[in-house]
Every structure is written in C-alpha cells, then in structure tokens.
Amino acid sequence: MTTAPAERFALRLHKVSKAFGGVQALNEVDFEVRAGEVHCLAGENGCGKSTLIKTVTGVHQPESAELIELFGEKIERINPVQAREKGVSVIWQDLALFPHMSVAENIAFDDLVGLRPRSVRYREMITRAGEVLDRLGVRIALSAPLNDLPIAQRQVVAIARALMNDAKLIFMDEPTASLTQSETDRLLDIVRKLSADGVAIVFVSHRLAEVLEIAERVTVVRDGNLVGVYPTDGMTQARLGELMTGHHIENDVAARDLPDAPVVFETRGLSRHGEFEDVSLTIKAGEVLGLTGLIGAGRTELAHVMMGMRKADAGTMLLNGADYHPGSIRHAIRKGLAYVSEDRLALGLLQKQSIEDNTVISVLGKLTAATGLISDTRKAELVRHWIRELGVKIGQPSDAISTLSGGNQQKVVLAKWLATKPRLLILDSPTVGVDVGARAGIFRIVRELAEEGLAILLISDEVTEVMHNSDRILHMADGRIVQNYDPRTISVPQLEERIYA
Amino acid sequence: MRDTLRSYTIETRLAVVLAVLCVVLSISAPQFATLPNATSLLNNSAVNLIWAVGLLVVLVAGGIDISFAVASSVVQYVAAKMLIGIGGGNWLLGFLFCGSLGILLGLLNAWLIHGFRIISIVVTIATFNAFFGLLMFFSGGRNIYNLPDWWTARIFIFEHENAQGIWSELTLSVAVMVGCVVATWVLIRRTNIGRQLYAFGDNPEGARRAGVNIAVMQGVAFGWMGLMAGIAGLMQVNIVKEVVPNALYGRELDVLAAVVLGGARLGGGKGTILGCILGVMFVAITQNGLNLLGVSPFAFQMIIGAAILVAISTSNIDLSQFFRSKEARS
C-alpha cells in the first residue's frame, strides 16, 4: 500500500443509470470501492442498492454508464460468470446455498458448475474447503450437511465459498439480519480479517451501529440518486439515518412514568426448566416494557409461555389481576394477548397469500356474515382501516404479501394482531430486516398504541432500539431478570457494556 | 464413522429393519433363506431397480415422474415393431433402439417441464395418460408374441443345482441391473453433472445464480430416467417373452414408494443409490416373505403403505439429538 496509497480501486462506477419500466432505479450514480476497504452501501429499501449490486455483477446491464472499472480494468459488458472469474462475489441475503449438500461441497460448489463432464474429487474438495475455513479462522465440520448448521455458520460458509473463487471484492447483502449480537461480532471480525488480507468488502446493512463500527466509508443512496460518500469517522447513527431517509429522525429517550396506570400483566416466579428461572415482571396499561439481553437469555421462550405455546414449570401469571393459564395460543389470543414473532418471514406471514388475507387471518371468526361465511365487505373494511391506520404502502390489498418491503410487511403483521384488539402486545425483535425509515414508522405506531393504553412488551437485542422506545428496561441473562433500568438514567454504551460484559 | 452413520441415517435404519426382517423370515419361513429364493428375488427385482435408479435421478433433481413404467411399455411396443420390421436385429440394436426411444420420451417430459414451466407431476401425469392412450389405441391392446429369438432367449449369468435338483439361476436382467446401478452411481456421485443435479434439486434459484444450466439439468434427469425406462422395457420382455401393452401399467407407484422409502426426498436434493437399493429390496422381500407365509396379497399393499408412513414420519426425528437433550436435562 506504500507505493500507491489509497488510490487503488477495486471498483469504480461513474454515472451509472438503470431504469425498469418508467422507474429510474439508478440515476447517474457514482460508486467507488478502494482495494481492501470495508465500504458500506446505505439506503432505504428500494433506494437502488440491489440494482447497483446487480449491475456490477452483470445480472443487469446498465442503460448508460460513463465508466465501469473493476480492479483497474475498464469493462464494457459483464455477465455473472465473468464477474465471478474477475473476483467479484455477492453473498445474497438468502445465501443461495444448498441445504442438503455437505459444507465442503457448498464451499467448493462453483468448481463443479459447467457442462463439461468431469469427475468429482471429494478429497481435494475437502482439503481446499478446509484451507479456506482455516484462513477465516473458523472450524466447521466439512462433511456435515449444511442444514445442520446454525444460520451464522451458514453465513461463514457463504463467505468461504466467495473466497474459494478468489474473490477480491465481496458484496454482503444484509449479512447480519438474522444473527445475534455475538454472532454479528464474530462475523465483523472475519470481515476485518478479509479486509486486512486485501479483500474489499461492500457491506449492506440496516443496522447502522454496525455499519459505523465496521466500515471506513459509507456511500448513501436515496431514490436512485447518490446522496454522498462519507467517512464513518465522526458520523453518527442519527446523521446517517437522516441522510438515508431525508428526514430528521427522532432518536431520543422517551421514557415516561405511569404511576396511576393499572397493571395489565404480571408474572410471579415464572420458570421453565432449562429456559428461564424465577421471572417476575409487571406491565402496566400504556407502558412499553423493554426486554433485552443476549440471545439464548430466554426472552423468546418467556414470550412463548405467555402466549400459551409452551407451559411453565413453576410460577403464576396474572392478567388484569386474574389468574391466567393459557392452554394454547388460541386461548391467549382470546384473552387479549398478541405476539409479533421474531421470524416474520417464516412464522408471522403467509408469504404467498394476499395482503388482505394476511391482515384478517387472526380474526376470521369475527368477519362472518349472517350466512356463516366470511363477509367480503367486512373484510375489505377492516383491511382498509388498518392500512390507513398504520400507513402501509401497498399497491392492491389483493397483492401477495411478498411484494412488500420488510418494513411494510412488519406493519401488516402488526395490523393482523391489532385487529384482534389485544390488551398486551408482545413484539419480538420487530425490526429485523426493516430499514431505518420504516423502523421509525413502526416505533411511532408502537408509541401511539401505548398512548392509547395498550401494554407492550418489546423484546430486542438492539440496545439503542430498547433505549429509545421503552419506558422501563429489563435485562435478562441466562434465564433470569438480572436488572431493571430506567432509560433516563443510563446511556446506551453503559447498557451495552453490562449486557455484553 | 459416526459422521458417516449420521449422513446416512435413513439408509442405516432401513438396513437394520431389513436385516431384522430377513432374520424373522428365515426363522418363520424355511424356504426364505435358500439360494433359489434369493436368486428369484433378484431376478424379479431387476426391472424395478433399473426404474428405481432412474427415478432417483429425477427425484434428486427436484422432479417426479409418473410416466416411466408406461414409457417402458411404449418403448417395448415400438422397438418390437421396428426390430421385426428390420428383420430381427440383435442385442446391440435392441439396447440402441430401446435406449434412444426411452431418452426421447424422457426428453419430451423435460421439454414440457422446462419449456412451459409446468411442474413435473402435472406433466408426467399427462404424458402417462397420453403414452398409455396412444399405446392402447395403436396396439388395440393386442400382445406381440412372435419376437426375435435373441430377445426371448434365456441367458444365465449364474447357474447352480442343489442336492434336491432345484436350480438357482441369475438372468441377464440382473447383470444389466447391476450395470445401470453402477452407471447411475457414477453419474450422481462421481461427476460434476450429478452434483449439479443435486444442487438444482436442493435450491433451484441458488443453482441458477451459480451458473448451473437448468435446461440441461432437466434434460439429463429426465433423459436418464428415459434411458433406464427403455432398458427396463427391453429386459422385461426378455423375462416374460412377450410384449403386453398394459403389463406395466400401475408399476410406477410401487417403484416410487420404494425409492421414497429409501430416503429420496420429494422436493429434491437428497437421495442415495444405497437407499434406493434398500428400498426396492425391502418392498421385494416383504412381498416375498408374505407370499411364503401364505398371507393374503392384499396385506402387502397395506404393509408397504404403513412402512412409508412410518419411514417418513420418523425421518425427521434425529435420535442423536434425543439423547443429547436427555443428557442436558440429567
């Protein structure tokens, strides 16, 4: 690096434009990544990030481009295979791996592609895959089928696969979306190691905290236009959020005292063996109770017991002062509890069904007309109401839910549960995969709901999120509530330190 | 060793069940564990196993085929007419004709599936009906007996006479079956084409993004199935010495059951030759055993159905995890 400091580029794009139909996805965007740099590409969903990645990797051809240069070489046209050969790899959010094939075969798969028949050398494959994992400093059983691995290790397999192709520029699309904090930290360590090895990384993430932690520079794109390129030194999350959305985002502690509010829900000494011990908490009407801690602390398990999905071994639960023993999730819903699960894509939504059907699924029983069949009018009314209420941006209510962005999908999940008219709403990691602007929208709704008197339990391992949106914070570790915090008397770094210590 | 057992759980379980079954049958039915019974079992399973390995390739690639047994009938009939037409032919021409006819029918399925983006079960149910309807229409349901001599000749690759004067023989179809099994194993396990088939079945979108040629993969999978169907048709005539247009109708479901029992995943990406062999042998031995014990043939269908339900419903239970959680609790 001494001979050509900082001016060696892995990638240079000048004035790249791309339109789909009438929509200008990219409008004369410049984008430069230095060799060995960790660069963040930031922007809201639909801002053109994916189009940019797809243009560099040859999935899309740009309408016009003044310059496309990869590793100092000017390029006219590129297709995905050429991009890979030149050392550009993309790790998509869904990873594009093969769940039933072995780890080694997943890592070395690209060597097998092609129609010229040749024999497979498993021994060589295992050796080479092992070498790549060693380079990353990771140990994973090479012969295990991929779907035996936790998602964080699959992410590592995807990185190893990119390195197997001698990638010198790796795009990572939301690599941490489904990782816990400690898994994220380990992944960021790997990213740093790659960067030190001279591999340039373009990091796309909604989690601004880690963007600022890992990247040297950040390029912000909004509505297909380049907003600017900024060093991360001196950049704050709030400023970055503003650049991405173009709006000022309120990010302040907004805790309130609710001395007169009645207690809606209470647990006393609630335990479930191997998951959580002696959990006692109260939630008042109109209160947002934050529950944070490392993954595996027992937070989600606690929520499952509250929803009647699992049974507690010991302790009691009280709902509005009366004994509450949910026998099933249906029972819990009838009693006025609602649960927005952490895995929205798999558990919270029926991806192939329409927006309206997803909205009304939990209240179908209440939509029946005199005939005993579902009334289309009442259904449409309800859907219209919630779409307006929550500001969900949709085309038609009959469109598939999968056509919506992450933030809007999450709003539909909220609508689905709010339609049951709950008294206690449990939000489990509600902003995973939701971008910064939509997050603000979701928490604005949460705040309004609380003002209307709904009790809310907010489960999240993102400390800032809990700090800015809760009235009180409980810290859970190893299945126990270890501490009770007032967001007004503790700072984000202090709380982070206690959680990750 | 533990890793190997783990990655072959279904196969291991099936092998254990099969071993227990064999022991029980050897005790309760004296004729079971004899050489003549074993060789006849193999002779009778040869055609099924040839189909089964072909079907395995399709399942691994994420498809399904209902039409292969009827396709074998079509191949038999057309090949018989053509071979008689050219004055008889020989084994080489027989393999050539039947193999390429089978491949053509397989490629027709692949073309319909890929070209029109129709799922394979719909396409092959349609071609199953179309093949069978056309065959019955043109043949009028009439059998062909006057086949070339080479085709109906009994050829043994193994003969043995025991003290009671009972012969044990393995027919040519067993040798052909072994060839098909080995060739399929090489294809799906030892070549990059085969591994791309697995990848395509496992995650089609991921495979497409990696640059796997999807059209060719469909062609290879259904073409191979077709080749196996052609060869199975050829060998089945060698066994029964006539072409009966509707003789193979309905056999597809028995073979599908056996392959699924052997651990091939409907939906693609998973399945082994070993499992396939064990599945076919399990079905064959159950049938053979019930026969020897004098149980009603209707019980056989019931038992195979139950076996599939048990195999599928237990295949998601990982025993090692069960023990681990027990340890953690204690």
Condensed to tens digits (0 to 9), the pLDDT of residues A58-77 reads 878 888 888 888 888 888 87
Query: Has residue B296 been placed in a domain?
Result: no
Q: How far is A90 from chain B (nearest CA, A)?
A: 10
Residues of A with CB under 8 A from a CB of B: 80-81, 84, 92, 94-102, 105, 109-115, 117-120, 141, 143-145, 273-274
Strands (E), A415-488: 424-428, 455-459, 472-477, 480-485
Query: What is the rounded CA–CA span in Å between residue A286 and residue A471?
Result: 10
Q: How far is A470 from chain B (nearest CA, A)?
A: 35
| Chain A CB contacts of B196 below 8 Å | 112-113
| Chain A CB contacts of B202 below 8 Å | 98-101
Per-residue model confidence (pLDDT) at position A119? 93
Question: ipTM of the assembly?
Answer: 0.87
Residue B261 near residue B282 (C-beta atoms within 8 A): yes
B314: Cβ contacts below 8 Å, ≥ 6 apart: B13
Condensed to tens digits (0 to 9), the pLDDT of residues B262-317 reads 988 888 899 999 999 999 999 999 989 988 988 888 888 888 888 878 877 766 55
Closest Cα in chain A to B199? A98
The architecture that CATH gives domain A9-245 is 3-Layer(aba) Sandwich (3.40)
Query: Has residue B275 been placed in a domain?
Result: no
Closest Cα in chain B to A145? B7
Query: Has residue B90 been placed in a domain?
Result: yes
Name beta bridge partners: A282. Answer: A266
Closest Cα to residue A194, out of A176, A175, A169, A212? A169
Query: Has residue B302 been placed in a domain?
Result: no
Taking 50 as the pLDDT cut, the residues of chain A under it are 1-6
> Residue B89 is encoded by which pair of tokens?
């032919």
Closest partner residue to A101 among B190, B193, B198, by Cβ? Answer: B198
Enumerate the domain spans of chain A.
9-245, 256-336+422-501, 350-421
Helical spans, DSSP H, in A174-318: 181-196, 208-214, 237-245, 299-306
Element (H, E) at A50: helix A49-56
B190 with A117: Cβ contact below 8 A: no
Amino acid identity at A94:
D
Q: How far is B222 from chain A (nearest CA, A)?
A: 16
One-character DSSP codes across A127-148: HHHHHHHHHHT----TTSBGGG
| Chain A CB contacts of B189 below 8 Å | 120
Per-residue model confidence (pLDDT) at position B238? 94
Condensed to tens digits (0 to 9), the pLDDT of residues A106-136 reads 999 988 988 899 999 999 999 999 999 998 8
pTM over 0.95: no
Element (H, E) at A309: none
Query: Has residue B121 been placed in a domain?
Result: yes
Condensed to tens digits (0 to 9), the pLDDT of residues B2-39 reads 555 555 678 888 899 999 999 999 999 988 999 999 99
A143 with B213: Cβ contact below 8 A: no
Average per-residue pLDDT for chain A: 85
Helical spans, DSSP H, in A203-351: 208-214, 237-245, 299-306, 329-334
- Tell me which residue range forms the domain holding B83: 33-248
Per-residue model confidence (pLDDT) at position A215? 92
- A256-336+422-501 and A9-245 share a CATH fold: yes
Q: How far is A150 from chain B (nearest CA, A)?
A: 15
* CATH class as words, domain A256-336+422-501: alpha beta
